[in-house]
Amino acid sequence: MLEAWWKETVSGERSDLGSALARGALAALAVPYWLGLKANLSVYTSGLMPRRRARLPVVSIGNLTLGGTGKSTAVKFLAGRLQEADVPVGIVLRGYGRRGRQKVALVDKAAEVSEVGDEAAMLARALPDCPVGVGKRRELAIAAVAEETDARVALLDDGFQYFRLSKLADIVLIDALADTPRQRLFPAGHLREPPSHLQRATQVWLTHCDQASGEQLAEAREFVARWASEVPVVTTRHRNTSLRLLNNEVGQAELNVAGQTAVALSGIGNPAPFEANVASLGAARVVPCRFADHHFFTAQDMTAVAELAKRHAADLVITTEKDAIRIAEAPADLKLM
């Protein structure tokens, strides 16, 4: 509820007096946030504290905004490409929301999602031959991956703001669908850092370009050129590959939902591109069903989803790969993909 209120408030969807006052308060709070961010970064850029050197070369995949750009998908893509090139690669991430008490943990496909975090569990299951390490101190997680596996390079998920670590490359993702040029610094907006910090990037990847209009794509390019004119820009798109029935039978289902009504179930930072992807499969109608980012779906939640599907005469429920691993159980008669 708090996340939804904040998003509606900073976006201007709420136009009442209370929301206007809240926006003013959030703008005021952005000042100490900016000062703290600058102080934290300057400690390392000034040389007052040396950056830690990891045991492996590090390629960071991060973003300038709060979630929703497709970092986990990009990490999965890069890891797969490196594996195809016979480069031993490991993935390291903080493990957002994990309950495990170990400072560092190596994740396998059988790991309990709540212990390691949904993103780590998803990557471990999607890439069973790629070691995945989690830990707040990412350099320690990289050391564990280096010591216990044959990895020779580390992909750091969400590492742009991890200032303490020396990196070989910083890839920054920007959603072409988002109104990034007009975003404000957190908590007044979605920016984790000021736009000028894009100059630290090695590359900028624009995501969801296939769904963006020509005007949106041009504006995103202009935004990068304004703040980091020397940084190469790569355009990308998200492509649907397969659907798997989650609770009815094992195996693959054909990518054919043409003419059907689909509930798009998600608990991710930016659900709109996912819902557009469901529509692109040919669904006659898409019914959004949005939960908070990283939400763990209970049996009661899934019963409510089934009731929503019934009310809208939906033929099936489609969710994301990351959301799927956070679904404990679902009604057996619900066609869930």
What is the structure's pLDDT at 99?
Answer: 79
Mean pLDDT (whole number) for 308-328: 92
Average pLDDT, the chain: 91
The amino acid at residue 143 is A
The whole model's pTM is what?
0.90
**Distance in angstroms between the alpha carbons of the first and the last residue of the chain:** 26
Mean pLDDT (whole number) for 273-281: 90
Mean pLDDT (whole number) for 194-207: 97
Cβ(36)–Cβ(143) under 8 Å? no
What is the structure's pLDDT at 251?
Answer: 44
Residue with more model confidence, 3 or 53: 53
What is the structure's pLDDT at 232?
Answer: 97
Q: Look at phi and psi of residue 214 and say left if phi exceeds 0, alpha if psi is from -120 to 50, else beta.
A: alpha
Cα(54)–Cα(76) distance, integer angstroms: 21
Query: Torsion over CA of 324, 327, 330 and 332, rounded to 10 degrees?
Result: 40
What is the structure's pLDDT at 248?
Answer: 57
Cα(24)–Cα(26) distance, integer angstroms: 5
CA angle 108, 111, 117 (to 5 degrees): 105
The answer to whether residue 1 scores a pLDDT higher than 80 is no
Most confident residue range from 113-122, 157-166, 242-251: 157-166
The amino acid at residue 204 is V
Half-sphere exposure of 85 (CA within 13 A, CB side): 10
Mean pLDDT (whole number) for 205-213: 95
pLDDT more than 90, % of the chain: 73
Cβ(284)–Cβ(263) under 8 Å? no
Mean pLDDT (whole number) for 204-217: 95
- Taking CB atoms within 8 Å and a gap of at least 24, the contacts of 31-37 are 33/185, 33/186, 33/187, 34/185, 34/194, 37/193
For the segment 60-107, what is each residue's pLDDT rounded down to a tens digit? 999 999 978 999 999 999 999 999 999 999 999 998 878 777 889 999
Sign of CA dihedral 62, 26, 275, 262: positive
* Complete edge-to-edge strand list for the sheet that includes strand 261-266: 285-290, 261-266, 316-319
The answer to whether residue 57 scores a pLDDT higher than 70 is yes
Cβ(321)–Cβ(265) under 8 Å? no
Cβ(117)–Cβ(96) under 8 Å? yes
Mean pLDDT (whole number) for 244-267: 75
The answer to whether residue 332 scores a pLDDT higher than 70 is yes
What is the structure's pLDDT at 185?
Answer: 96
Collapse the DSSP code of 261 into the 3-class scheme (helix H, G, I; strand E, B; otherwise coil) and give the result.
strand
The answer to whether residue 255 scores a pLDDT higher than 60 is no
What is the structure's pLDDT at 164?
Answer: 95
What is the structure's pLDDT at 306?
Answer: 93
The first and second tokens of residue 268, run together, are 């991710």
For the segment 33-44, what is each residue's pLDDT rounded down to a tens digit? 999 999 999 999
What is the structure's pLDDT at 246?
Answer: 80
Q: Look at phi and psi of residue 254 and say left if phi exceeds 0, alpha if psi is from -120 to 50, else beta.
A: beta
Helices first, then strands: H and E counts in the chain: 10, 13
Collapse the DSSP code of 252 into the 3-class scheme (helix H, G, I; strand E, B; otherwise coil) and give the result.
strand
Q: Which of 3, 25, 23 shows the shortest CA–CA distance to 12?
A: 23
Mean pLDDT (whole number) for 116-143: 94
Residue 250 pLDDT grade (very low, low, confident, very high; cuts 50, 70, 90): very low
Mean pLDDT (whole number) for 3-10: 86
Collapse the DSSP code of 26 into the 3-class scheme (helix H, G, I; strand E, B; otherwise coil) and give the result.
helix
